[in-house]
Structure 1
Amino acid sequence: MVRDDREHWDAKHRALGTPIPQPPDALRGQTDLLPGRGRALDVACGRGTVAVWLAGRGLDVVAVDVSPAGLAAGAALATTEQPPGRIRWVEADLDGGFPTEDDAYDVVVCQRFRVPELYPALAAAVAPGGLLVVTVLSEVGDTGGRFRAAPGELAQAFGELEIVMHHEAAGEAHLLARRPS
């Protein structure tokens, strides 16, 4: 499976233009919730637009993805946008589990990658006082499908955290949550 995923995402990333750093969807309009420094984890980072944006905000980032082409695009963007060394790029198949050896982050982002089996690992990766930022495709306001979250899925999955914002509409579900200090 990993080879097929890698080839699919490599082809997709190569076909796209130059990425632009941007905040994760769930955090737009609420960037004041981010710490000014610390460590961040960007899960399924794709071409690194969020990872580079986080690094630009002063965070040291671990960016994980299955696609070498996506990681290369992110690394190229990071050299033009950031001082080197703020982002560590990690190639890993997340279907096989959580690859990072680090135990907790001040910010954990997972945008447009839904694997409910990884929800406990995502929650566990959030440091005390840290922020979880998740956006997935949703059945709410859409026709549904295998990659879409059921109504309330994120709020239920991350209920041990303090939910700051949860919104579902137009085929997307967004969640911001904090681990109590």
Structure 2
Amino acid sequence: MTAGDGAHWDRRYAELGPAPVGAVALPGVFAPHSSAFPTEGAALDLACGQGRIGLWLAELGLTVHGSDVSAVAIEQAAAAARQRGVSDRCRFEVLDLDGGLPVGPPADVIVCHMFRDERLDRALVARLAPGGLLAIAALSEVGAAPGRFRTRPGELAEAFADLDVVAAGEGSGTAWLMGRRPRSC
């Protein structure tokens, strides 16, 4: 991303203000499969925004490392973690994913909701612990017009073919996939 991208997202999150307390939850595409998420271990929440998913994971029992290009969003996420009493299990940092994934140990869960950079695909799979879960959602051409940031039909399944698919779908302009890294890796 460019410095302008960070400033754009800072303005957007400043305009939104802090996330409502009830907004801490899994996004709709993942919610029906919430039982697939572990209740302990380490989680990585990429492009975490205000930390809604990361906070849900922390409340589930995981230790969460969230990152986003927006300093405003990171401040809001950290404040929400303190408010919800999970700041001891959350670490949020400003990070431009153009430089790669944040440094850290293998993750039991990696969530990437509405952000995708295909240059990170291999790194995401490699970062998963054996048996670890990747939950990724991105804009899609399926049910929407093609666009610069939209995946083409079948792209997520193709990109993450090394994972055992737990659930996946495409439609209404969104593609998503939940997959586990095989334990034999």
Q: TM-score, normalised by structure 1?
A: 0.95
Q: Are 2:129 and 1:131 aligned?
A: no
Q: 1:43 and 2:41 equivalent?
A: no
The whole-number CA distance in structure 1 between the counterparts of 2:32 and 2:137 is 15
Q: Post-superposition shift, 1:103?
A: 3.2
Amino acid at match of 2:14: R
Aligned-pair identity (%): 43
CA distance, structure 2, for counterparts of residue 120 and residue 24 of structure 1: 24
Q: Paired residue for 1:65?
A: 68
Tell me the distance in 2 between the aligned counterparts of 1:59 and 1:25: 20
Alignment of 1:70-149 (within 5 A): 70-98=73-101, 100-149=102-151
| Counterpart Cα distance in 1 of 2:29 and 2:123 | 19
Q: SS state of the match for residue 29, structure 1?
A: helix
Distance 2:127 2:25 in 1: 22
Counterpart in the other structure of 2:155: 153
Contact 2:26 2:53 in 1 (8 A): yes
Residue 80 (structure 1) shift: 1.0
Once residues 158 and 105 of structure 2 are traced to their aligned partners in structure 1, the CA distance between those partners, rounded to angstroms, is 23
Contact preservation (8 Å) 1:55, 1:82: no
Per mean C-alpha deviation after superposition, the further-off stretch among 11-20 and 164-173 is 11-20
In the alignment, is residue 29 of structure 1 matched against residue 32 of structure 2?
Answer: yes
Which 10-residue stretch deviates more, 78-87 or 127-136? 78-87
Q: Which residue of structure 2 aligns with residue 5 of structure 1?
A: 5
1:96 Cα deviation (Å)? 2.1
Paired positions, count: 180
CA contact (8 A) 2:46 2:111 kept: yes
> Under a length normalisation based on structure 2, what TM-score does the superposition of the two structures give?
0.93
User: For the Cα contact (< 8 Å) 1:110–1:135, is it kept in 2?
Assistant: yes
Structure 2 portions without partners, runs of 5+: none
- In structure 2, distance between residues paired with 1:25 and 1:154: 18
The SS at the match of 1:51 is helix
Offset of residue 114 of structure 1: 1.6
Larger deviation: 104-113 or 22-31? 22-31
